[in-house]
Amino acid sequence: MISVLNEGDRKALLARLSHLSPDHTPRWGTLSAGKMLCHLGDQVAVALGDTPATSIGSPLTRQLSKFAVIRMRIPIPKGRIMTAPEMLVTEPSAWHDDIDRLRTLLSRLGQTASVSPHPAFGRLTHHQWGVVTAMHIDHHLRQFGV
């Protein structure tokens, strides 16, 4: 299973990201390429505790979601799924600035063991955050055909 905590996996995801441009259109969903890039950064900011997030769903749905995605490795579904509002706060700015922000946040995540709870999954270990983040980035890169 890939993880952004693994330098090789992180570099491979960032290399794929370099093939994305602001004018790419999604194969599904409503996010623009710029908004998706900011969304990925917002997710990592939540993991780092830079952006506190409130829990979404019930304790039961959090446990079921966590089990399905992390243990069973069920892919993130295409289309609109429940997203914590804190993971959609940053508005796109200069494309390269947004990419640099994501790179910096991913680097910080790789250098710290202190992580915050996930709004949809509850408490995650540092390792689990690394796996979920890699899955999330891969999901959105596939959304844009990259």
Q: Is 1 part of any domain?
A: no
* CA distance to 3, 25, 137, per residue, from 63 (Å): 21, 33, 22
Q: Is 115 part of any domain?
A: yes
Full-model pTM? 0.91
Retrieve residue 107's tokens: 């680097």
pLDDT for 104 equals 97
For residue 63, pLDDT beyond 90: no
Residue-number span of the structural domain to which 14 is assigned:
7-21+28-143
φ/ψ of residue 52, rounded to 5 = -65, 140
Instruction: Provide the residue type at 15 as one letter.
Output: A
Q: Is 58 part of any domain?
A: yes
Instruction: Provide the residue type at 22 as one letter.
Output: P
Q: Is 2 part of any domain?
A: no
pLDDT for 80 equals 63
Token pair 């952004």 in the structure block, residue: 4
Q: Is 73 part of any domain?
A: yes
Q: How many domains is the chain partitioned into structurally? A: 1
pLDDT band at 2 (very low <50, low <70, confident <90, very high): very high
Q: Is 124 part of any domain?
A: yes
